[in-house]
Structure 1
C-alpha cells in the first residue's frame, strides 16, 4: 500500500469557475473522540455527603484529628519477667498473666508541639555507665539532670497536661487494678524460616512426581498473562519474627508498688527479659486518677 499523505499536504480541489480558498479559510477538524478508560473513576459515597469537614494538611489539623485517640497520660517502660497465673477467689478460675517489672523508670524529656510538632513524654528505664553512652546522649541526660538510662522511649500524649515534670519517677501504682492497657514489644526472633513455618503453607504432595521439594514454595509468580514477574508482597521464605507487635486491651490484674510489679491478663509478645511498653488502652475509657493530675501540675 502506498504511503498516505497528511491531510495538511493534500492538494485542495480547484475548478475553473471557482476561486481557490485562502489559507485562512481552511477549517481544521477537531478530534471529538478518544480512548475510553477501562477503569473510569467512580465517585466515592463517603466524599459526597453534605457537611463533611475539609481535610487539611497542616500539623494543627493532624493533631486535632488524632486528639480522640491519643492517651491523656504517659506510659511506662517495663521488663517482661515471664508468665504466671493467679486464681480468682470468687469463681476459682485460673487466670494466666504476664509479670512485668519496672526498673528505675524516670521522665527524661519532653516533646512540645511548638518545637517538635507533637506532645510526648520521653521515658527512660534502667541504668547505664557513662563510659558506654554516646556524647550526644550524655549531654542530653546531663542537661535534664538525670542519670544515663539504658532504654529511652517516647509516649505520645494528647496535650500539655499529660507532660510529667522532668525527673519524676513512674512507679507501678501509675496503673490501677482493673484498667486496660496496650502492650508494645518485639516478637521472638525465629531467624530464616520457610514458607510453611512463616506463612502456614500446606506444602506439596508426597507423591505424583514431587521429590525433595515437599516443604518448598513451588511456583512464585504467573507467566505471560500476569506480567512474567513475581508480584510485590509475595509470601516467601525469609526472616521471621523480631517485629513490633501490640496487644490491645489487656486488663491489669494486680499491682505491687513495693516490688514494682504489674500483672496483666494474658500473654505479651517477646521472650523473657524483653522491653515492654504499656500505656492506657485507646479503645477503652480513660482511667480516672487523682494523683495523676496532681503530679502533672
Structure 2
C-alpha cells in the first residue's frame, strides 16, 4: 500500500487527452512527514505513520511534542497510519504527491458533509401519503407507522426514521488520478469526493 494525507480544495473540470471535459476534485497534499515506523516485531503489524498541519505548542500535550520531536518536526494536527506501506522511508523524511502517477487508480477516504437532524423525507427519500383526504391533516411528509402495538411491542433495529444525517466516513474506490502538479502539491482526481471544502481526505492505493 501507499498513501498520502490531503486537503480538499474544491472542484473544477479539465480537458482530457481525447478532448473530453472531465470533472475533477482538487486535493492539496503538502509533504507528509513520516513520524513513526511500525513493524511486525515491536508492534505486531507494519505501518507508516504520516502527519501534516502544524499545531501550536501550547495546544499540544508534552507526550505529543516528544513523539514528533523524534522526527525532528513540530506537533501536528492530523496523523494517519497506512498499513503495509510499499515505499521505504525513514523517520523525519517526507512523502509528496509524486508517489502517484497520472492515470493511476486510487481509493479516497473522506467524511461526508454533516446535515444535522433531518426528517425521513430528506434522510430516506420518503414521499408521504400523496393526495390528502378529509381527516388527513399534514401527513404528506410524515414517517407513518413504525411498528405494531401488541406484537412485537417494540421498534425493530434499523427502522428508517428521522435522525442525524451525514458526517459519515466514506471510501470511494476506483478513482483515477487525472493530473498532478508536483510544484503546487496538487493532485486532481476524477469525480467528486466526500467532504466540505477544506476537509481532510486520505488517498491510498
TM-score bracket, normalised by the shorter chain, equals over 0.9
| Alpha-carbon shift at residue 222 of structure 1 (Å) | 2.4
SS in 2 for 1:81: strand
SS in 2 for 1:125: strand
The count of residues paired between Structure 1 and Structure 2 equals: 204
- How big is the shift at 1:84? 0.6
Q: Does 1:81 align with 2:9?
A: yes
For structure 1, the 5+ residue unaligned runs are 1-70, 281-297
Q: Does 1:221 align with 2:147?
A: yes
Change (3 A) 1:131 1:104: farther
Instruction: Tell whether the 8 Å contact from 1:78 to 1:101 is kept in structure 2 after alignment.
Output: yes
- Does 2:196 align with 1:271? yes
Deviation at 1:162, TM superposition (A): 4.4
Give the whole-Å Cα distance in 1 for the aligned partners of 2:87 and 2:185: 22
How far is 1:191 from its partner? Answer: 0.5
Q: Provide the TM-score with structure 2 as the length reference.
A: 0.93
Q: Partner of 2:56 in structure 1?
A: 129
Q: Which has the larger radius of gyration?
A: 1
Higher strand content, 1 or 2: 2
Q: 2-side partners of 1:267 and 1:87: how far apart? A: 16
C-alpha distance in structure 1 between counterparts of 2:164 and 2:21, whole Å: 36
Confirm or deny that 1:96 pairs with 2:23.
yes
1:213 shift after superposition = 3.0
Equivalent residue, structure 2, for 1:10: none
User: 2:39 and 2:98 mapped to 1: Cα distance?
Assistant: 26
TM-score normalised by L of structure 1: 0.65
Is the 1:181–1:251 contact (alpha carbons within 8 Å) kept by the matching residues of 2?
A: yes
Q: Which has the higher contact order (CA 8 A, sep 6+)?
A: 2
Shift of 1:117: 2.1
Larger proportion of helix:
1
User: In 2, Cα distance between the equivalents of 1:193 and 1:116?
Assistant: 43
Q: Give ranges in structure 2 of 5+ residues lacking alignment.
A: none
Contact 2:30 / 2:96 at 8 angstroms: preserved in 1? no
Contact 2:31/2:185 (<8 A) preserved: no
Q: Distance in 1 between matches of 2:139 and 2:84?
A: 52
Map Cα deviations across residues 253-287 of structure 1 (whole Å, 9 max, x no partner).
1111111110011110011100010011xxxxxxx
Aligned to 1:177: 102
Shift of 1:163: 4.8
